[in-house]
Amino acid sequence: MAAVRALVGSKLAAASAFASLSPGGRTPSQRAAIHLSAPHPAAKVALVLSGCGVYDGTEIHEASAILVHLSRGGAEVQIFAPDIPQMHVIDHTKGQPSESESRNVLTESARIARGKITDLAKLSAANHDAAIFPGGFGAAKNLLCCIAPVLAAKVLRGVEVTVGHEQEEGGKWPYAGTAEAIKALGAKHFVKEVAEAHVDQKNKVVTTPAFMCEAALHHIHDGIGAMVRKVLELTGK
């Protein structure tokens, strides 16, 4: 089970109307002004990991896709994870706990970050325009904070999120029941396809179903790309 969440700083506005103008719609003087102006600063995004592996940490495909799309969008990324023991270690070949092992969340997350990672305790919201939380069971097991759509619904009353569809549809959406849990907490669930993202403009929360759907990997990658684009649009950078 996995879904991707992104939180954007509440003080930030959406991208300006000027940025949406096509080059053909501008006068020569307007085009010259654009070329002479200083480049926009890159959006500063915190990526928060919860280990390495879907059953006890971060869903690796989701984290990788997020990094690819952030890179393509020109964002400045800093990766974080808590310096704490994992709740437990899962043998991913069996889907069962490995009783004899214990691992550290920061150390395991560093595998995905290629060693460039910072203790989550040092994350300051003032230094970032947005934070993105990949899915994976480690999000609930190791972070113990409001990141999963259900927990977001519990903390942000009336928040809008998506985990995809609300019916299992023959196993295509195996975690569809999560939508009802979200609505029971007073939040609003929006039905979206796996390649789509939903934006809560008021709370500046962006979600995409990702592996909540049994879909081809490229469709999940596309949905994460849609989410990242929406996040960067909200930062206005």
Number of domains composing the chain: 1
Q: How confident is the model at residue 14 (pLDDT cuts 50, 70, 90)?
A: very low
- pLDDT interval class at 153 (50, 70, 90): confident
Q: Where are the beta strands (DSSP E) in the chain?
A: 4-8, 44-48, 76-81, 90-91, 96-97, 118-119, 130-133, 160-164, 188-191, 198-200, 205-208
Tokens 């089970």 appear where? 1
Is position 221 within any domain? yes
In a domain, 80, yes or no: yes
Strand-pair partners of 173: none
C-alpha dihedral over 147, 150, 153, 156, to 10 degrees?
A: -20
Q: CB-hemisphere CA count at 13 Å for 233?
A: 18
146 assigned to active site: yes
Q: Is residue 14 part of a domain?
A: no
Model pLDDT for residues 44-71, shown as the tens digit of each residue: 999 999 999 999 999 999 999 999 999 9
Q: Is 227 exposed, middle or buried (CB count within 10 Å of its CB: 0-12, 13-18, 19+)? A: buried
Whether 1 is in a domain gets the answer: no
Mean pLDDT over each residue of the chain, to the nearest integer: 84
Is residue 15 a part of any domain in this protein? no
198 forms beta bridges with: 207
Q: Is 70 contained in some domain?
A: yes
Q: Note if the pTM is more than 0.95.
A: no
How far is it, in rounded angstroms, from Cα 125 to Cα 193? Answer: 31
Give me the phi and psi of 56, to 5 degrees please: -135, 5
Q: Residues 52, 145, 146, 213: which is the catalytic one? A: 146
Per-residue pLDDT tens digits for 155-179: 788 999 999 999 999 999 998 999 9
Rounded alpha-carbon distances, angstroms, from residue 148 to 11, 18, 114, 123, 157: 23, 34, 25, 19, 14
Q: For the chain, what is the radius of gyration of the CA atoms?
A: 19
Say if strands 205-208 and 4-8 run parallel, antiparallel, or are unpaired: antiparallel
pLDDT tens figures, 83-104: 999 989 899 999 898 988 999 9
The two tokens of residue 170 are 């023959």
Top mean-pLDDT range of 142-146, 184-188, 212-216: 212-216
Asked whether residue 7 is assigned to any structural domain, the reply reads no
Q: Is the pLDDT of residue 25 over 60?
A: no
The domain that contains 168 carries what CATH number?
Answer: 3.40.50.880
Whether 20 maps to a domain, the answer reads no
- What is the DSSP-derived secondary structure letter of residue 54? T
State what percent of residues in the chain have pLDDT above 90. Answer: 65
Determine the pLDDT at residue 232: 97
How much is the pLDDT for 149?
A: 66
The residue range of the domain holding 172 is 44-235
Residue 180: band (very low, low, confident or very high) from pLDDT cuts 50, 70, 90: very high
DSSP assigned state of 47 = E
Evaluate if residue 210 carries a pLDDT over 50. Answer: yes
